Amino acid sequence: MTERERWATRIGLVLAMAGNAVGLGNFLRFPRQAALNGGGTFMIPYIISLVLLGLPLIWIEWSMGRYGGQFGASTTVGMFEKIWKHRFAKYLGSLGFTIPLLIVIFYTYVESWTLAYAFFSLTKWYFGISDMAQMNAFLRGFQGIVGHGLFSGVMISVIFWIITVCLNVFVISGGIARGIERLAKIAMPLLFVFAGILIVRVFFLGTPDPALPENSVAAGMAFIWNPDFSRLGDMTIWIAAAGQIFFTLSIGQGTIPCYASYLRKNDDTALTGLSTVSANEFAEVILGGSIAIPISVAFLGIAATQQIAAQGSFDLGFVAMPMIFQKLPMGFIFATMWFLLLFFAGVTSSVALTQPLMAFLQDSFGVARRHAALVLGAILILFGLPNVYFLKYGYLDQCDFWIGTIGLAAFAFVESVMFAWIFGGKNMWEELTRGADIRIPRIFYYVMRYVTPLCLGVLLVAWVWQDITSESSIILLSGAGEESRPFLWFSRASIAGIIAAGMALVYLASKRRKRKEAVR
What residues line the site for other proteins (CB under 8 A)?
7, 9-11, 14, 39-41, 43, 47, 214, 218-219, 221-223, 225-227, 229, 264, 266-268, 271-272, 274-275, 278-279, 281-282, 285-286, 297, 302, 435, 437-438
Distance, CA of 207 to CA of 84 (rounded, Å): 60
CB of 62 to other proteins, least distance (A): 13
Q: What phi and psi, each to the nearest 5 degrees, are found at residue 148?
A: -150, 140
CA-based radius of gyration for the chain:
23
CB of 459 to other proteins, least distance (A): 23
CB of 265 to other proteins, least distance (A): 8
Distance, CA of 273 to CA of 55 (rounded, Å): 8
Residue whose CB is less far from other proteins, 78 or 273: 273
Which one-letter DSSP state was computed for residue 7?
Answer: -
Residue whose CB is less far from other proteins, 141 or 289: 289
CB of 229 to other proteins, least distance (A): 8
Q: Please tell me the chain's helix, strand, coil percentages from 3-state DSSP, rounded to the nearest 5.
A: 75, 0, 25
Using DSSP, state whether 367 is helix, strand or coil. coil
Q: How many residues does the chain have?
A: 520
CB of 261 to other proteins, least distance (A): 15
Give the residue from 166, 99, 157 showing the smallest Cα distance to 390. Answer: 157
Residue whose CB is less far from other proteins, 219 or 379: 219
Residue whose CB is less far from other proteins, 103 or 297: 297
CB of 227 to other proteins, least distance (A): 4
Residue whose CB is less far from other proteins, 130 or 226: 226
Cβ–Cβ < 8 Å for 372, 347: no
Which one-letter DSSP state was computed for residue 441?
Answer: P
CB of 462 to other proteins, least distance (A): 25
Cβ–Cβ < 8 Å for 252, 97: no
CB of 28 to other proteins, least distance (A): 19
Residue whose CB is less far from other proteins, 425 or 435: 435
What contacts 189, CB < 8 A, 6 or more positions away?
Answer: 15
Packing angle between helix 408-417 and helix 235-248, nearest 10 degrees? 80
Q: Which amino acid type is present at position 450?
A: Y
Residue whose CB is less far from other proteins, 154 or 302: 302
Residue whose CB is less far from other proteins, 48 or 222: 222
Distance, CA of 337 to CA of 320 (rounded, Å): 15
